[in-house]
Chain A
Amino acid sequence: MKDNFQHFHEPPRILEGGALLFWGGVTGHPVIGLLCALLVEARSWTDLRWKFGERGFVRAWYLSIGMGLVASAWVWLESASPIFLFEALEWVPVCLLPVILAQNYATESTMPLNTFSVVARRKMLIDRKAGRDVRPIQVHIGYPYLCFVMVASAMTRIDEIAFFAGAGILMAASLFFASSVSRLRPARTVIALFLVFIFGAGGSVGLKALWLRLDSPYSRTGGGFTSGDLSQTAIGKLGTLKQSKGIRWRVQEAPAEEPRLFREAVYNHYSDAQWWHRPIPERGGEGGGRRVELRGKSKQESSEVDKREGDYELLWDRVSEDGIREFAFDEKEFARDPDKRRKLTVKGKVDTKTPLPLPDDAQRLAGLQVTDGGVDVNSLGTVRLENPDHGVTSFEVFVGGRPLHEALPDPERDLQVPLAERAPGRLDANEKWVEDPARKGIRDVCEAWGLRGLSAGAAVQVIRDKFFSREFTYSMFLRSEHPSQKSSAVARFLSDTRVGHCEYYATAAVLLLREAGIPARYCVGYSGQEKNDDGEWLLRGSHAHAWCRVWHGTIPPDEIPDGKDLSSYGRWKDFDATTPRWPELEGSGKKWSQQLVDWWHNIREDALIWRTSPGNAGKINWVLLIAGTFLVVYLTMRLWKDRTRQDSDPGYRWKGETRHTALHELIPSAEKLLGPRGEGRTFSEWILGLLRFFPGLAPDLHQALGFYWRARFDPAGLPQDETAKFEVLVEEIRRRLSTENGLSTEGESVISGG
């Protein structure tokens, strides 16, 4: 109480509330932010207070921990990717609300620091039981709470100037008020703010990069990531390609077919080990080159940022009589009996714009929960889920018939081979391509293998049976004596190393077929390799696969005549260039713990699907609402019972005359540095706090205190001559305070303007 460290700095009014409003605004929870701000700031409008004591603060902390655990569990269950940690951090201001409210509404001005440590608190209790005098460090958690609010606000994806401006203002205010009054305060604040901006900007860039890395709908260790528009392959990378054994999707198929490919995305442009989706332009003529007309462009139609988004069109949708939302490529599909199609049930984690793993003959999707979005498809047949309601979904896919939404081959896109792969070389000084005669390219391999002039079927057979399955080796481990050259890595694979994984095989096959004049595209997705006891396909990260879509037919003309049957030009077919033995060659590599991990994954996923299903979601929300209401009512009743008033009679207050001494004149100046004196704190202990800032005042201040005590508490009072000395002494202290601290004689700060 006397000598222990105390941190009394308390944020000024409105700062905490302003920070919470800012948090609510940037995180998209304005109502919650407003409610929290009102609760925190209402302390200034009411004199209701509680005497929490050490136990009360600990209980508030435990309540915060409980709320934090519930929020983390909730976010963890909801989230589809490792970013759940960020999302959980976003809710820290709400979870810490009990602690900051306890602080703000307590009759005590501080709380023990060991409130937040079970170990330290336990030690204190043991010490006290043993009779030792333990005085915990006292702190005011106003500023730490502000830090948490700012960190939580930074967890948002908003990177607009308004965010940085708002955060800057709040940080500047916090730094300014948190620092002590002195001439150097503005300079200190500016320097601190500058450092905060420097480190903040660096941290923000790093955080965003980490976010993007973790938040990709599909990520692979060692490889890259895949979205509907881009697949970063591991082509050209050396070492072992590691893939997660975690389950990404579960697919129940009845009746089951043997190994199946579940396509997530299709690409048609290859460059530097990356496959891209490039829009296929509409063909002229009435036919337009599409088998069916979809509902229309999706939301991003007018986007100037990425023209690929303009290539997406929404699927037809309707709500069935059972209240289930259905999507179809063709509006007529809704009129067909779904029981006549084979049905797949797909379960897995989803996020915004997640490509769905579908067989190429999918016709209808049912049960997807996308209240504020839909399902879209691009011209290559990549189907994405836009803005799903929950982090995990379960939906049905009705399959059968011919693929409906894949644009006819486009000679410009689907026959393109990068120059560096076609004929390896380099650019000379005049930016002209000079071939390297020592290296063979796709063109040479195509010639050597005799692919030119062959039909698609024959070419596919030659590539697979004559070369890939005989002369090439499947391996996840790659090494090369040459430096890695991504731009011509496929040509090197075909002519030199002949060792690679599915991305090499698929990319090489696509480029060879294109060189031979056969339109081809590159697909990624999953290969069904493993079933569980329930007959579900388990699509793990290690089952991620790449293959080709090959056009079997003739290249359609630019103008499609009206009424022309597009199937007469040909059709796209899957071609898996990788040896069928690739799963065996990779080896299972499953750890002993995988079964436990799978079990937990399935339990968690099924629980979330059950909870978010339309029938159960409402019930659970009601149960949670009622439980939450009971908790709030219980806490309110308990608190109401124990309430007190800020200015309530503490049981004692001196009502007689109080002698005013010269030393009392120093109170306004001292308050600027020390903050207000707590009612239970003696004047001498408080005023001696000035020595922390001005150690040189010690002799004068101690002497003045001697006079003060006698003048104030001696019934005989201070003799006349000593009164004069006392006044001179106090005047001298005031003078030194004002000259050394930049305080005017009125106790106002000259620099800060008060």
Chain B
Amino acid sequence: MNAYDLLDAVGGIDPKYITAADAPGKPKTVCHFQRYYLLAAALFLLVLSGVMVRNHLLIPGAQLSSDSSAEMCEEAAPAQVYEESATVTAEPPADTGSSNASVYADNQADGVTGSAATSEQDTAKEAVDAEVTTQATAGDYPAMLMANGILYKDTGEEYIGEIDSTENAISVLSYTDEIPSQDGQQNFDRTLETVYFFTDEETLVVYLKDENMWRIFKNEESFEKED
């Protein structure tokens, strides 16, 4: 037997195989699907990279001037929220700083923080004129810090007392994107350069490097009492 015999023998195969092989081939559906898969994958990667950029680059580490950050939040936050924030800070608080602080905390929860120039009642008018400064916070949580197992929240109030020395100040230990759950953990400073000290059991004074000011943080219980 040689190759010619075999080739001749192939000529004598069953006609049903010849007819079957003569039928039109299947359409190129696989190739079309491949194109769609590629398109979907590219779209997914684009969305994923967009989310990553938004979460990790723009919001937490942004060191913007008050003007530019205000502009940014004006664009990012819904107009209604922004207006509410401005209105609340503009109204003179009924009880010294308390309602202002609670509303402020609510606003923080929405990702927008408004701060008046002062917390005192007689300076409320100045607060109306004060430029509404906004800052981006980490995720959807207000600025918080845990110390001695107690969670302290930012009141938005500046500490106006004198600070002699920062030698006794305590450094934060870690950063989280969520609500702090360990001592020394906070959710607003990735660089871990923040320091704080206690004024009493309910109050912490925290140095915010970005804003170059000392801010008052209070524990959750004191927020509830004020409510």
**Do A and B originate from a single complex?**
no
Residues of A within 8 A of B (CB): none
Chain B residues with a Cβ under 8 A of chain A: none
